[in-house]
Amino acid sequence: MTEFTKTDQNRIKRVPERGHYDRETIYRILDEALICHVGFVENGQPYVIPIKFARVEDSIVLHGAKASRLLKHVEAGHPVCVTATLVDGLVLARSMFPHSVNYRSVVLFGRGRPVEGEQEKLAALKAITEHLIPGRWQEARLPSRKELNATRVVSIQIDEASAKIRMGPVLDEQEDYALSVWAGVLPMQEVTLPPMRDELLQEDIPVPEYVASYSRKRT
């Protein structure tokens, strides 16, 4: 199925023409975002936690300490809501009310399960590492059994999802176009600065190409 079914839970109600339900659009945003925010309720108290993640087919995987309240909640199969947002620009209008942001966002719903077994854990951790910086898993030391045992890994099946995208120019009121106020879009993107060597790094180790040419843009 190429699109998620529209439901009362994932349907875009505010400015519905900005809504997208196809997997290609939703997964492209998830694959570019570095951080997601996971919302859950425990004992009547809502929480929203930022965390690294990776998409693996129709699921996302998370990892952290064994004591993580979030990961315990996900592992138990309770419902969660996950969001990710990319900011592409500030939309500066002639009057205050139409100011906006160009963005791409995803909201998804699902339930989790534990990722168990050494090979499945390693595959999930590899996905998270390669999501952050492709090429790193092949170079750095892999997790030891002790480190794996100290790590909780979970997977959340994407049951429902939608994307909302705002792209384009200022949308001022007609009478405001005559105002002598600068208006337009200030584009924004994530960029990297020159790598900073660790103080204890051996002098003869060069910067890897996957670090030197790093970009969050996904094709």
pLDDT tens digits for range 108-149: 999 999 999 999 999 999 999 999 999 999 999 999 999 999
Give residue limits of the domains in the chain: 16-174+187-212
- Please give the mean pLDDT across all residues of the chain: 96
Q: Is 168 left (phi over 0), alpha (psi -120 to 50) or beta?
A: left
CA distance linking residue 3 with residue 57, whole number of Å: 14
Name the pLDDT band for 219 (thresholds 50, 70, 90): low
Which whole number is the average pLDDT over 152-180?
97
Residue 217 has pLDDT above 90, yes or no: no
The predicted structure's pLDDT at residue 145: 93
Name the pLDDT band for 1 (thresholds 50, 70, 90): confident
The predicted structure's pLDDT at residue 51: 98
Contacts with 148 (C-beta within 8 Å, 6 or more apart), sequence order: 118, 121, 122
Q: Does domain 16-174+187-212 have CATH number 2.30.110.10?
A: yes
Say how many C-beta atoms besides its own lie within 10 A of residue 204's C-beta.
5
Percent of the chain past pLDDT 90, that is, above it, reads 96
